[in-house]
A and B are shown apart, each in its own frame.
Chain A
Amino acid sequence: MTNEIGENGGAYKGFGAEWNASQLSADEARRATDWVEAKIDKRALLTTKERKEDVRDVMWQLEKEGEILVHRVGDHNDPIIAKTLYGWDKKIPTNNLWHHKSCGQCGNIPGYPTSVLWLMNKLGTKYLDETDQTSCTAWNYHGSGIGNVVSLAAVFLRNFHQAYVSAKSQGLPEGTYYPLVHCGTSFGNYKEMRHFLLHSAELREEVKKILGKLGRLIDGKLLIPEEIVHYSEWLHVVRNRLKEHQVIDVSNLRATVHPACHVYKMVPEDVIYDDQVLDGNRVAVTTGVLQTLGANVVDYSTWYDCCGFGFRHIIGEREFTRSFTIDRKIKVAVEEAKADVMIGHDTGCITTLDKNQWIGKAVDKVYALPIMADCQFTALALGAHPYKLAQLHWHASPFENLLEKMGIDWEKAKAEFTDYLEEVKQGRIETLYDPKRAITSGPGYVKPKVLAGGE
C-alpha cells in the first residue's frame, strides 16, 4: 500500500497499512495502549450467551422436546468452524452443497453463481444445482408488502426441505446436501424467519399445516437448518485453499468493499468476524478473501451505508436509488479511497452499484468504478474466463479497466466469447456439470442407474 495519500492528505488512510507512525514516545505509546491490549481478546468473554440469546440453543431444546427436527451440518459436509461477532462458533459446510440460487443473480448477474460453481469445481467440491427451488420471495415482501411472515416461513422451509431430500433423486441418502444460500436478501430473511419460527409455537403450527399438505415434513416435524449459510461465508473459510490456485497477481489493486445490510446487519450475532481480518472489527467475509488474494482493501467513510437498492426503490423510485448509490458510495470510493474496484457480496447491491452509474453522465457525475461480486473477482484471479465464466458482459460498469490492470486482455477474451456464441448457436454448449442432474423430479427427471436398477 502506498503512502502517497497518507503523507499529503492527513493523518491516516485505509485499513492498517497506511497509518502514519505515532509521534508518542515509546513509553507514552505503551501507556496509551496497554489497557487496550490487555482486553482485546475478550470479545467472546464479554458478550456471552447468558447475555445474548443464541437462537440455536432454543432450536436444540425444541428438538429435544420432539417439536422439530434439525438438519445438521454433517461430517460429510466437511464443516469449518468460523467465529461470529461475539466469538461464538458457526459451522460452515464446505462439501456436498445444495445451491440455493438468487433470482436477482441468475436473472441479472449470471456470472455471480457461475463463479461460485466454477470455484467449487476447482476445489473438487460436490454440489447440486437443481430446478426444484423458488426465490425466497423476500425481495417482493420488502418491496411491496405482499406476503407475510407465514408465507415467507413456509417458502423458507419448503426450499430447505427440498435441499434435505434432494439427494434421493441421485440414490444418495437424505441430508447429503446442505443448502448454501447465494442471496443476501434470502440469507437475512431466512435467519429472521428461523428466529420467528423458533419463538412462536403458533407460527410453527401454521407452517406445519401447510408443509404437511405439501408432504414437506420429516417424521411429521418441521425441518429447521442448524446453520443458515451464505456463499460468502463459504468463500471466506476456503479462501486459503483457493489462493493455491491463484494465477493473477492483484497486489496492485485498491479494492473497496461494500458489505450488504441483509448479510451482516440482520441477526448480527450470526455474522463472521475474524481476528485475522481487520482485527475482527468489521464483518470478515469478502475483505478476508480479497486480502488473502493480495489485494489492498481500502477503507472509505461511507463503508456502513447501504447501496440504495431499497427493494421497491430500484423498481419504482429510481431517483433515490441512483442518487444514493452515486453520491454516497461510488463517488466516495473513487474520490476518497481512489479505488480501482468495489466488491460486494449481495445481489441487490451489485445490481444497484453497477447499473446506476451510467445515468450519472446526465448530471456530470462520471466516476466509472468497476463493480463485481467477491466470487467473480476471485474467479478472475484464479484464471476464469472473464466472459465465458465470469459473464462480465452483463455488467454496465467499466470492468474492462480493471481487467487491464489485472493484465487480462479483455479484447481477446471478448473475441473468444463471440466465437463461442457461434458454437452455442450450433448447440455446442459447455456447462459446469452434467445437465441431467438439474432436474430431480417431475417432467424431465432421469433416474440414475442405481435407482432405476433397484426397481
Chain B
Amino acid sequence: MSKPVLVVGGGPAGLSAARALADAGQAVVLVDKEDRLGGAPILSGYAKLVPSHEWAKDAIGGMVSGVEGHKMVTVKTGTKVDKFDGDPGNFVATLSDGSKVEASATILATGFTHFDSVNKPEWGFGTYPDVVTTTQVEQMLSTGAGVKCPSDGREPERVAILLCVGSRDRQIGREWCSKICCTVSANLAMEIREQLPNCNVYIYYMDIRTFGLYEGEYYWASQEEHKVKYIKARIAEVTSDGKRLLVKGEDTLVKRPISIPFDMVVHAVGMDPNVDNMTLSAIFNVDLNKYGYIGKPSTYAHMSETSRPGVFVAGAATGPETIDDSIAQGKAAAIAALISASSTVREAAE
C-alpha cells in the first residue's frame, strides 16, 4: 500500500475526499488550520442548507463524524502545512506542529473566504448596525437567537436582501458570479418569512441565478408560498434617516430613482478566493488563476489536477462552488489521488 494521502482542509470537499479515500482503504492525513472540522458551513454557523433543507450542523456534522471516527484517517486540527517538498509518490509535508508527513499525493480543499462587505462601504455595512450579511442572518437562525435588528433587538418588519455583494463587480475587481447567493438568499428569505410571518422580505437583484432545479424549489416557491418580493434593481447606497435604513434604488419600470425604508438590510456576500491562497500557492508550488483561486489547467480530462503533478484540488478552492458540487469534486479528487498514488507505486515496482 502507498503512503497516505494528505488532505488539506476539512470542509465539505476535504471531508468528502478523505472519506472516499478511507473507504477505499487508503490511509489519509487530514489537516485543518481551525480547531474543528466542517469548514465554512460549521465555522460560519450556517442554518439550513440548500438543497436538502437539513441543518448544517446535522448534514456536515454527519460528514465530520464519519471521517473523525474512521480508522484510516488521522485528523490534525489547529494545524497548517508549512512546507511541502518532493515528487508524486514521495512528498514530505512539514506541519506547523513540527511533525512531518510522508504522502503519496495531496488534495487541496482549502475553500474560500466570505467577501468582506467593508469593501463596499456605500452599502452601509460597518456604518449601520442593522446592515448585516447573509452569514450573520444564518447565524441568527442557526443559534436560535432569531432574526433581530442588532441595533436594538427588535424584530424587523421590512428586510431587504441585496444580491451580488462582492460579486459581478468590476469596481472592486470581482467579476465572477458567486453562484450560490441567489439560491441561498431565496432560502434565507423563506426562513425569515417562516420565523417572522409579518415581515416583508424584498430581494434586489441584477439577474436571478437559481440555476437548474433550484428554480422551482427556491425562486418560484419563495414567491408563491412565501410571498418574497423580487425587484430588479442594483442598490446604489444604503443610508439612514436616524429611524430606519434607506435604500436607494431605481424603479426600473418607470426609470425613476426611489428611496425605500427598511429595518434590516442583508448583504448576500459572495465568495472570495481564500485569503491564504498566495501563501498556499507558494508552499505547494501551484499556480493561481487570474481571479486568485487555485488554478485547474484542464477542464475535462483531468478535472482535479493543479499545475503540479500529484497535487489535486477540490471545492471552492478552485472558484465559487456549491456544497453538493464541492462534495462531488472531493470524491473526484480522491479518485485522481488514488490513481496517482497507485501508478507511482506501480512504477516503483517495475
Contacts and interface: CB of A to CB of B under 8 A. Distances in A.
B148 interface: yes
Contact of A301 (B129, B143, B241): B241
A51 interface: yes
B152 interface: yes
A42 B269 CA distance: 15
B153 interface: yes
Interface stretch (A99-107, A159-167, A277-285): A277-285
Which secondary structure characterizes the binding site on chain A? loop
Nearest to B122: A304
Contacts of A278: 127
Contact of B246 (A43, A47, A52, A301): A301
Interface of B: 44-45, 113-116, 118-119, 121-122, 126-130, 132-133, 135-136, 139-140, 143, 145, 148-154, 171-174, 236-237, 239-244, 246, 248, 259, 272, 275, 292
Given A15-B127, A19-B151, 8 more contacts: A11-B244, A19-B129, A22-B150, A35-B44, A40-B118, A46-B119, A281-B126, A336-B241
| Top-8 shortest CB links A-B | A23-B153, A51-B173, A10-B243, A13-B242, A281-B121, A301-B241, A11-B151, A301-B239
A98 B133 CA distance: 46
A10 B242 contact: yes
Contact of A40 (B126, B130, B239, B241): B126
Contact of B292 (A31, A50, A273): A50
Contacts of B132: 32
A12 interface: yes
Contact of A47 (B119, B122, B150): B119
Nearest to B153: A23
A81 B127 CA distance: 25
A45 B275 contact: yes
Contacts of B248: 304
A9 interface: yes
Given A39-B118, A51-B173, A24 B126 contact: no
A10 B244 contact: yes
A278 B248 CA distance: 21
Nearest to A279: B126
**Which residue, A40, A280, A304, has most C-beta atoms of chain B within 10 A?**
A304
A268 B248 CA distance: 20
A45 B116 CA distance: 10
B173 A47 contact: yes
16 contacts: A13-B242, A22-B151, A23-B152, A24-B145, A29-B150, A32-B132, A35-B44, A36-B126, A42-B118, A52-B172, A281-B126, A281-B127, A299-B242, A304-B122, A304-B239, A336-B241
A283 to B, nearest CB: 9
Contacts of B239: 299-304
A31 B139 contact: yes
Nearest to B116: A39
Given A20-B151, A20-B152, A32-B140, A12 B272 contact: no
B248 to A, nearest CB: 8
B292 A51 contact: yes
A28 B148 CA distance: 11
A36 B44 CA distance: 11
A225 interface: no
Contacts of B244: 10-11
A218 interface: no
A451 B240 CA distance: 60
Given A24-B145, A31-B143, A40-B118, A52 B173 contact: yes
A11 B149 contact: yes
A179 interface: no
B237 A336 contact: no
B156 to A, nearest CB: 11
A319 to B, nearest CB: 18
A24 B148 contact: yes
Contacts of B173: 47, 51-52
